[in-house]
Amino acid sequence: MSKTEDSGVETPKADNFIEAIIKQDLAEGRIEKVVTRFPPEPNGYLHIGHAKSICVNFGLAETFGGECNLRFDDTNPAKEDQEYVDAIKEDVRWLGFQWAGDIRYASSYFDQFYQWALYLVKEGNAYVCDLTAEQASEYRGWATAPGKDSPFRSRSPEENLALLEKMRAGEFDEGHCVLRAKIDMASSNMNLRDPILYRIRKESHHQTGDKWCIYPAYDFAHGQEDAIEGVSHSICTLEFADHRPLYEWFLEHLPVPAKPRQYEFGRLNINYTVTSKRKLKQLVDDKVVAGWDDPRMPTISGMRRRGYSPAAVRNFCQSLAVAKTDGVVDMAQLEFFIREDLNDNAPRAMCVLNPVKLIISNFEEHINGDVQTVAAPVHPGKEELGTRELPFTKELYIDRADFSEDTTLGRKKFKRLVFGEYVRLRSAYVIKADEVIKDAEGNIETIIASLVPDTVGESPPEGIKPRGVIHWVSASHGKQATVRVYGRLFVHEAPDRGEENFMQHLNPDSLSVLQNCWVEPSLADAAPEGAFQFEREGYFVADRYDHQAGSPVFNMTIGLRASK
């Protein structure tokens, strides 16, 4: 639903082209039930582009009361790992989706795929080819020139069956031969020029172990998996559009139980990122980042560790057009949804990132005991969440950037604490900076200030005009914390386009680790993945792994407002 600007009344959101197709298919009785699938290859962690695909496939199933399968296209054991399987399952759940029935694997259908390969051979539609990789590339031709038939294309079905069985039995070395479909070497579509169906890979598989030493190509497995599972609409990104004729050729030439249809939509690209699994893996392998879930990575697990919420990621993905063209989305569009979600939901807290000590010289004159408890709202827009208690003590920490000795600074330019002037401490007293103590190098070690009594929640006496409001933490009751501040991983808006190596565009300042930060006491016991707005600083999250009670570690999620 969307609201019109004139009336504010919600109007139905226009169907995207896939929704329109599904509605027509249901109305015409071509299908009785919508079945989609999300089919990642477990050769890396999922990224923001996959998040859009997840939202599209699971969202269509939800919209039309159907089902969405989670299926791992695990046809390449050399690059796949159980770690990736587990991470992908967790990412889908974290985004708030649940697949239908048990998890599916391409490897579960390997026996059926092999029987269909035998069927193609017997029908004269597949053959074993002994060309080397270099020779096969030469025979394939170019996009502007037709290929030529392999000299092994004329082998008889009987000869091909015998050779295929030897391939399966492990009698040939890797690269010795492949099984190819017999289609059309002169086709204008390169994918139809006798594509490979099976390769020899003497690798142990994370699901089937050592049962197989030949593995099906993705293009051979894809449509047949959909047919086995009764998928009604096989939704892919645009790079698979040229593969659709091959997808349909297999369905037409095999005795499959169903005839799914493939549709393609534009993939999600975001500036200042790379989303190639190969390139993301290089960042991990070269230790440019701390792992696939490094908060600078565009992976779903990285965004989770950075403090993005699943709702914000879904809202972003759902805001994007499902169209027949690719496009590049500005990072600011994603950040808008992250900031909007956190502004609405994150509790407030105080953290001093670059501390300098501030001592209240007249503390004992106006406050009984060593500490006064002041109250601050958990969230200023949600009174139902109540208040949090803050210990106000004689010694505090404020941020160095919030103090200046320059008394000529105008109030509009510097709304913080200036020597000889007043400022309000958030939810506490108005104070005046009276004196500074410096070390031998001239650096400020301590600020001596005096409080204005009876100003907690009250206006100061006439004639006292605080410049602004600054945050603070008790030096005796606050807790020391580590805070990681993140910037963009790349300084170029299109790091992997053009001829330059994307690694040349890395941002050397993408991570700053601040060890001597001070947080209000309750944050020391915050639950991992708890998100907060550190007042006047930005949004932060307790690290899901490193944050522990008594030893807090926070990751910066995003600033309070978009940077220019």
Catalytic residues: 41, 267, 277
CB 298 within 8 A of CB 32: no
Residue 12 CA to residue 34 CA, distance in Å, equals: 21
CB 544 within 8 A of CB 531: no
**407: exposed, middle or buried (Cβ count in 10 Å: 0-12, 13-18, 19+):** exposed
Half-sphere exposure of 96 (CA within 13 A, CB side): 10
CB 61 within 8 A of CB 96: no
- Closest residue by Cα to residue 72 from 48, 44, 97: 44
CB 474 within 8 A of CB 443: no
Assign 161 to helix, strand or coil. helix
**156: exposed, middle or buried (Cβ count in 10 Å: 0-12, 13-18, 19+):** exposed
256 Cβ contact partners less than 8 Å away, ≥ 6 residues apart: 116, 223, 224, 227, 228, 250
Residue 85 CA to residue 405 CA, distance in Å, equals: 57
147 Cβ contact partners less than 8 Å away, ≥ 6 residues apart: 139, 140, 141, 185, 186, 193, 194
